[in-house]
Protein backbone atom coordinates (compact mmCIF):
# COMPACT_ATOMS: atom_id res chain seq x y z
CA UNK A 1 0.00 0.00 0.00
CA UNK A 2 2.80 2.43 0.85
CA UNK A 3 4.51 1.63 -2.43
CA UNK A 4 1.31 2.36 -4.35
CA UNK A 5 0.97 5.76 -2.64
CA UNK A 6 4.60 6.69 -3.30
CA UNK A 7 4.37 5.66 -6.96
CA UNK A 8 1.13 7.63 -7.38
CA UNK A 9 2.66 10.75 -5.86
CA UNK A 10 5.77 10.48 -8.03
CA UNK A 11 3.76 10.01 -11.22
CA UNK A 12 1.51 12.93 -10.37
CA UNK A 13 4.47 15.19 -9.59
CA UNK A 14 6.27 14.16 -12.77
CA UNK A 15 3.22 14.86 -14.91
CA UNK A 16 2.66 18.23 -13.26
CA UNK A 17 6.21 19.46 -13.89
CA UNK A 18 6.81 17.97 -17.32
CA UNK A 19 5.04 20.64 -19.39
CA UNK A 20 7.25 22.83 -21.56
CA UNK A 21 4.65 25.49 -22.24
CA UNK A 22 3.09 27.95 -19.81
CA UNK A 23 -0.66 27.68 -19.26
CA UNK A 24 -2.79 29.27 -21.97
CA UNK A 25 -3.04 33.05 -21.75
CA UNK A 26 -0.07 33.46 -19.41
CA UNK A 27 3.44 34.65 -20.06
CA UNK A 28 5.31 35.39 -23.24
CA UNK A 29 6.15 32.98 -26.01
CA UNK A 30 9.58 31.38 -26.17
CA UNK A 31 11.01 33.78 -28.76
CA UNK A 32 10.01 36.83 -26.71
CA UNK A 33 11.50 35.39 -23.53
CA UNK A 34 14.68 34.42 -25.36
CA UNK A 35 14.97 37.90 -26.84
CA UNK A 36 14.52 39.52 -23.42
CA UNK A 37 17.21 37.30 -21.90
CA UNK A 38 19.62 38.09 -24.74
CA UNK A 39 18.99 41.83 -24.34
CA UNK A 40 19.67 41.67 -20.59
CA UNK A 41 22.89 39.71 -21.17
CA UNK A 42 24.06 42.21 -23.80
CA UNK A 43 23.35 45.09 -21.42
CA UNK A 44 25.41 43.40 -18.70
CA UNK A 45 28.24 42.78 -21.17
CA UNK A 46 28.26 46.45 -22.20
CA UNK A 47 28.28 47.52 -18.54
CA UNK A 48 31.15 45.14 -17.76
CA UNK A 49 33.12 46.40 -20.77
CA UNK A 50 32.79 49.98 -19.51
CA UNK A 51 33.93 48.89 -16.06
CA UNK A 52 36.85 46.98 -17.56
CA UNK A 53 37.93 50.05 -19.55
CA UNK A 54 37.80 52.17 -16.41
CA UNK A 55 39.93 49.70 -14.45
CA UNK A 56 42.42 49.31 -17.30
CA UNK A 57 42.83 53.10 -17.50
CA UNK A 58 43.39 53.40 -13.73
CA UNK A 59 46.86 54.64 -12.79
CA UNK A 60 46.65 54.24 -9.01
CA UNK A 61 44.50 53.00 -6.11
CA UNK A 62 42.41 56.17 -6.09
CA UNK A 63 41.48 55.60 -9.74
CA UNK A 64 40.53 51.98 -9.00
CA UNK A 65 38.39 53.10 -6.08
CA UNK A 66 36.68 55.67 -8.29
CA UNK A 67 35.85 52.95 -10.83
CA UNK A 68 34.56 50.64 -8.14
CA UNK A 69 32.43 53.36 -6.60
CA UNK A 70 31.05 54.48 -9.94
CA UNK A 71 30.07 51.04 -11.16
CA UNK A 72 28.81 49.71 -7.85
CA UNK A 73 26.59 52.77 -7.55
CA UNK A 74 25.21 52.27 -11.06
CA UNK A 75 24.84 48.53 -10.61
CA UNK A 76 23.08 48.67 -7.25
CA UNK A 77 19.58 49.68 -8.38
CA UNK A 78 19.96 48.34 -11.90
CA UNK A 79 20.25 44.66 -10.96
CA UNK A 80 17.34 44.80 -8.53
CA UNK A 81 15.10 46.33 -11.17
CA UNK A 82 16.06 43.72 -13.76
CA UNK A 83 15.38 40.89 -11.36
CA UNK A 84 11.97 42.28 -10.50
CA UNK A 85 11.13 42.85 -14.18
CA UNK A 86 12.17 39.33 -15.07
CA UNK A 87 9.83 37.85 -12.49
CA UNK A 88 6.89 39.85 -13.78
CA UNK A 89 7.51 38.98 -17.41
CA UNK A 90 7.43 35.24 -16.91
* Model confidence pLDDT, tens digit, residues 43-79: 999 999 999 999 999 999 999 999 999 988 877 655 5
pTM over 0.85: no
CA distance 81 to 88: 11
Biggest alpha carbon distance in the chain?
73
Amino acid sequence: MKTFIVVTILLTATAAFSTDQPPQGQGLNFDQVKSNVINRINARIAHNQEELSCVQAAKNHADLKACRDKFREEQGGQNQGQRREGRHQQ
